[in-house]
Amino acid sequence: MFLAIAVILFVAAEFVISWWALPVVGVILGVIGARRRGVALQVAGAALVAWALLFAWVAAHGDLQRFLEALALSMKLKPGQLIFAVTLIPAMLAGSAAGLGSGIRNLMQTPPKSAATAA
C-alpha cells in the first residue's frame, strides 16, 4: 500500500510543482516511512514508476518523440541513454531524499545522551 500511495503522490506532485516534487515528496515519504526497512529503495522505485507513468501519459496525449528528441539534444545524450537517465536520475534523487528524511526522523526520536553517560 505504501508504494501505491507513493506513486500517486509523486504523480500528483509532478503536476503541481514539476520536478521539485522528487526531493520534496521523497523527504516526506522518508519521514513517514522511517520505520520501514529499505524505505529509500522503495521510494526510489515509486519515483521510477511515477516517471514511467508520466512518460506514458505524455506518449498518449502529446508528442513524446519530439519531446524526447529535444530533451536528448539539450542533455547531449543518445535516445537510449536518455531513457536510462530520465528514469534513473529521478529514482536516485527521490531515494536519497527519502533516506535523508528517514535519518532525520530517526535522529529526532533518539534520546540525547546525558553528559554523565557519555563520559
pLDDT single digits (tens) 5-31: 999 999 999 888 887 888 999 999 998
**Contact criterion met (CB below 8 Å) for 97 and 26:** yes
Task: Supply the pLDDT for residue 16.
Answer: 86
**CA dihedral (17, 14, 67, 84) positive or negative:** positive
In a domain, 51, yes or no: yes
Q: How many domains does the chain have?
A: 1
**Mean pLDDT for all residues in the chain:** 83
In a domain, 118, yes or no: no
d(CA 107, CA 102): 9
Count of beta carbons in the 10 Å neighbourhood of residue 91: 21
d(CA 10, CA 84): 19
- Determine the average pLDDT of the residues in 95-103: 88
Give the range with max mean pLDDT: 32-36, 60-64, 95-99. Answer: 95-99
In a domain, 24, yes or no: yes
In a domain, 116, yes or no: no
In a domain, 94, yes or no: yes
pTM (two decimals)? 0.73
In a domain, 115, yes or no: no
Residue 43 lies in domain: 2-108
In a domain, 69, yes or no: yes
d(CA 38, CA 6): 14
In a domain, 82, yes or no: yes
Q: Is the pLDDT of residue 116 over 60?
A: no
